[in-house]
């Protein structure tokens, strides 16, 4: 029995230490070649001298971010060999220039709200998805909203709907132009609704709108931008309506999130450039936070989710929200 325990312990230590250099409070740049090697192995990437220099510079930035933050939310992830400019071109896709239609003024309910809320516990949120190398975040955000709205309306578990259909049938021409979630709602309403992910899988490229109306899983009747203008009204809308499509301003600090610490940005952000799904809020000690589902896969932040500091309009949160209507 003792030998079996030791064998299990040794195997566990080997498995957990395989990428031990990637998870550190401070990255020694003298160890950068060894850290880069583990990074390549973990994320199945090819070595490049140019990528290594970018990786090393990002390690330096992560160290600086850690020094200037009370929350250790920074670390190595699958974006660490990219510049923010490269990442922005491929992964950010909220474009306010595509905004159209009426903005529905949101009037807070005046009801007492729960002190904590997480719509995942109700089953209204599907698994974290990955938009990959395409600026289709607005479609993923919109689909997440539709999934949640349907599940909440029918008191059921959310089903995974098609991000590709939402992207293909939207007005945006390609992966680089972006869009806004509420226009996706209107586009899908014209199609009769949303198909499932299984029936219309993600392809990471803009294609022709190929809706099969015999396979509509959720009827979408419309949608709109909500006229929220601060975090209080956003919290009220989230509590009353369920998961919301929102826009935020992504920056280099957000790019390098790893783990479940509360993210408190220390760098200002000019304008919204990324769409995500707001699924809850809570409090850790005296610190309030938002719970956000991203579409950058499970290697980013906390299995694809992030806790963002609440009450400071961090990353411009509270400046845009949208809601689908479903049958």
Q: What is the pLDDT of residues 75-103, one digit of tens each?
A: 999 999 999 999 999 999 999 876 666 68
* pLDDT bracket for residue 3 (50, 70, 90): very low
Q: Residue 56: is its pLDDT beyond 70?
A: yes
Q: What is the CA radius of gyration of the chain?
A: 21
Active site residues: 137, 274, 294
Quote the CA–CA distance of 271 and 277 in Å, as a whole number: 18
User: What is the mean pLDDT of the segment spanning 42-68?
Assistant: 96
For range 258-263, the mean pLDDT: 94
Sequence-distant (≥ 6) Cβ neighbours of residue 99 within 8 angstroms = 180, 182, 183, 225
**CATH 3.90.70.10 in the chain, residues?**
88-326
Instruction: Tell me what pLDDT residue 54 has.
Output: 98
Q: Which residues contact 256 (CB under 8 A, 6 or more apart)?
A: 58, 61, 62, 65, 74, 75, 76, 77, 79, 80
Instruction: Of 222, 164, 152, 153, give the one whose Cα is nearest residue 195.
Output: 164
Q: What is the pLDDT of residues 57-75, one digit of tens each?
A: 999 999 999 998 777 789 9
The three-class DSSP label of residue 19 is coil
Q: Over pLDDT 70: what percentage of the chain?
A: 93
DSSP character string of 117-164:
EEGGGGT-S----B--SS--HHHHHHHHHHHHHHHHHHTS---PBPHH
User: What contacts 59, CB < 8 A, 6 or more positions away?
Assistant: 27, 29, 32, 35, 76, 80
Measuring CA to CA, which residue among 128, 136, 71 is closest to residue 302? 128
pLDDT, tens only, 278-320? 999 999 999 999 999 999 999 999 999 999 999 999 999 999 9
pTM of the model: 0.92
Give me the pLDDT at residue 268, please: 82
Pair of tokens at residue 211:
């809706």
143-201 tens-digit pLDDT: 999 999 999 999 999 999 999 999 999 999 999 999 999 999 999 999 999 999 999 99
Alpha carbon distance 308, 263 (integer Å): 5
Tokens, residue 123 = 């089953």
Residue 229: Cβ within 10 Å count = 14
pLDDT at site 1: 40
Q: What is the mean pLDDT of the chain?
A: 92
Q: Specify the CATH number of the domain 88-326.
A: 3.90.70.10
């Amino acid at each position: 029995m003792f030998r079996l325990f030791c064998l299990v312990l040794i195997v566990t230590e080997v498995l957990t230490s395989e990428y031990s250099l990637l998870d550190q409070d401070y990255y020694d740049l003298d160890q950068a070649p060894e850290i880069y090697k583990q990074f390549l192995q973990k994320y199945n990437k090819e070595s490049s001298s140019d990528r290594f220099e970018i990786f090393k510079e990002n390690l330096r930035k992560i160290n600086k971010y850690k020094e200037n933050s009370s929350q250790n939310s920074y670390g190595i992830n699958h974006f660490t060999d990219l510049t923010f400019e490269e990442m922005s071109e491929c992964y950010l896709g909220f474009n306010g220039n595509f905004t159209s239609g009426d903005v529905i003024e949101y009037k807070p309910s005046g009801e007492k709200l729960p002190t904590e809320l997480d719509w995942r516990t109700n089953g209204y949120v599907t698994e974290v998805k990955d938009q990959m190398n395409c600026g289709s975040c607005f479609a993923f955000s919109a689909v997440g909203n539709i999934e949640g709205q349907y599940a909440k309306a029918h008191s059921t578990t959310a089903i995974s709907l098609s991000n590709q259909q939402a992207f293909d049938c939207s007005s945006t021409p390609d992966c680089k132009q972006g869009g806004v979630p509420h226009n996706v709602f209107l586009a899908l309403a014209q199609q009769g609704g949303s198909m499932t992910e299984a029936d219309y899988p993600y392809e990471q490229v803009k294609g022709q709108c190929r809706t099969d109306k015999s396979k509509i899983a959720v009827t979408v009747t419309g949608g709109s931008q909500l006229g929220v203008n601060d975090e209080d009204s956003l919290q009220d809308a989230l509590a009353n309506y369920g998961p919301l499509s929102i826009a935020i301003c992504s920056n280099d600090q957000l790019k390098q999130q790893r783990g479940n610490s509360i993210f408190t940005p220390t760098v200002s952000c000019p304008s919204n450039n990324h769409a995500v799904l707001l699924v809850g809020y809570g409090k850790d000690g005296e610190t309030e936070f938002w719970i956000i589902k991203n579409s950058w896969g499970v290697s980013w932040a906390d299995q694809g989710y992030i806790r963002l500091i609440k009450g400071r309009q961090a990353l411009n949160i509270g400046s845009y929200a949208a809601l689908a209507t479903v049958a």
